[in-house]
Amino acid sequence: MGVPASPPWNVTPQEAIALQKELASRVITVDRLGPVNRVAGVDVGFREQGTVTRAAVAVLSYPELALMETAVAHCPTGFPYVPGLLSFREIPAILEALEKLSTPPDLLLCDGQGIAHPRRIGIASHLGLLVDIPSIGVGKTRLWGKHEEPPEERGAWTPLRDGDEIIGAVLRTRAKVKPLYVSPGHRIGLETSIRTALENSPPGTADSVVAINTAAVEIARKRRDTLTWRYPVAVSGSFGLLHGFGFASVLNEIGLPQMEIPAALLFFNIGVEIGQILFVILVLLMVTGLSVFGVWQGEMRSKSRFSVPDYLMRPAAYLVGVLAAYWTIERIAGFVA
């Protein structure tokens, strides 16, 4: 898709704030959108200690939410991390990714804020205004405004207010789960934004925004022509089978009767699954604790703060690969012997 020329990004924070105030007056918060058949989710991350910005776009059919097209772009990070000015840091890479799409999307879903922003122009509003595509901000945490907690049932919402002005909604897309912060980005009103966010998260499934952004992250991190991408169940099952063979050889070595080995393998796998579940619970508790103490709070959080630099990631990946190869060869040799 063609992307309109954007303003220069090499500005100071003071100039960026002045530009936000100017652009905010152009944001349209009433419905001016046509038929929606293609919904694009956008995600941004950072590499090389924040010096490289990586943007991924995943286009899904609407309302089926089937993956249709993807695009990834990398570019040098040209703007410092300043709370409230993340659009100047992230949008240049997003525009490059959007330009690679064969067909423009009909609606943008941004993991961030629309007008729920101190100057009423978060990343969803800024991006939608630049490319002239309707956009919605769907944030997992609050950046600006105050609200009451919505009821626990799905579809319940309460207004997100800045004084007397309603700048968004705190929407419960699933019963008894943490609500999302939905706000109009550009060319869309609050009611349509709420309805769209709710329609994209039918009961019993993951929220579409999370699904889209997960797909975008995976696109940015992995090649799609690998065996693991194409046959994830087969690959993971094969490694599990090798693991079982290795454990079976150990059982033989310690003298366990042949008739007892199947039961031992069964309970071994059950124990492994229980251990994995306990590990996931531990990680979730840690993340929840960080959220409670305000470490991961909305747009105030730098997306590069928790990234692992490449000079550590690459050696770690090679080490894991070498160990995996060694254990694979050792277990195959032990089983054949």
Q: State residue 228's pLDDT score.
A: 60
**Quick check: helix, strand or coil at residue 137?**
strand
- Which residue in the block uniquely carries the two structure tokens 């994209």? 200
3-class DSSP assignment, residue 119:
coil
Same domain, residue pair 175 and 258: no
For residue 7, being part of any structural domain is answered with no
Say which residue, 193 or 232, is predicted with more confidence: 193
DSSP state of 309: P
Is residue 210 domain-shared with residue 87, that is, in the same domain?
yes
The phi and psi torsions of 38 (rounded to 5 degrees) equal: -130, 120
CA torsion, ordered 124, 125, 128, 129, to nearest 10 deg? -160
User: Do 113 and 183 belong together in one domain?
Assistant: yes
Q: Quick one: pLDDT at residue 6?
A: 67
Pair (203, 232) in one structural domain: no
List of long-range contacts for 89-92, beta carbons under 8 Å, 24+ apart: 89/53, 90/44, 90/53, 90/55, 90/123, 90/303, 91/6, 91/9, 91/123, 91/126, 91/127, 91/130, 92/6, 92/9, 92/53
The pLDDT-based confidence of 25 (bands split at 50, 70, 90) is: very high
Tally the domains of the chain.
2
What residue numbers bound the domain in which 302 lies?
A: 227-336
pLDDT at residue 163 tops 50: yes
Final residue of a domain: which of 189, 204, 221?
221
Q: Are residues 138 and 238 in the same domain?
A: no
Same domain, 103 and 181: yes
Residue 300, pLDDT > 50, answer no
CA-angle at 154, arms to 153 and 156, nearest 5°: 75
Q: Based on the domain organization, do 152 and 272 belong to the same domain? A: no
Whether residues 173 and 48 fall in one domain:
yes
1 occurs within a structural domain: no
Q: Do 234 and 175 share a structural domain?
A: no
pTM: 0.65
Rounded mean pLDDT, 166-186: 95
Of the two residues 9 and 164, the one the predictor is more confident about is 164
Residues 306 and 259 in one domain: yes
Tell me, what's the pLDDT at 319? 76
pLDDT in tens, 113-153: 999 999 999 999 999 999 999 999 999 899 999 999 999 99
Tell me the pLDDT tens digit for each residue of 52-109: 999 999 999 988 888 899 999 999 999 999 999 999 999 999 999 999 999 999 999 9
Give residue 301's pLDDT band: very low, low, confident or very high (50, 70, 90): very low
Per-residue pLDDT, 200:
73
Residue 336 is predicted with a pLDDT of 53
Q: Taking all residues of the chain, what is their mean pLDDT, rounded to a whole number? A: 80
Same domain as 214, residue 235? no
Please report whether residue 111 resides in a domain: yes
Average pLDDT of the residues in 187-215? 71
* Residue with more model confidence, 61 or 303: 61
What per-residue confidence (pLDDT) applies to 185? 98
Of the candidates 185, 205, 221, which is a domain's last residue?
221
Q: Are strands 38-47 and 52-61 parallel, antiparallel or unpaired?
A: antiparallel
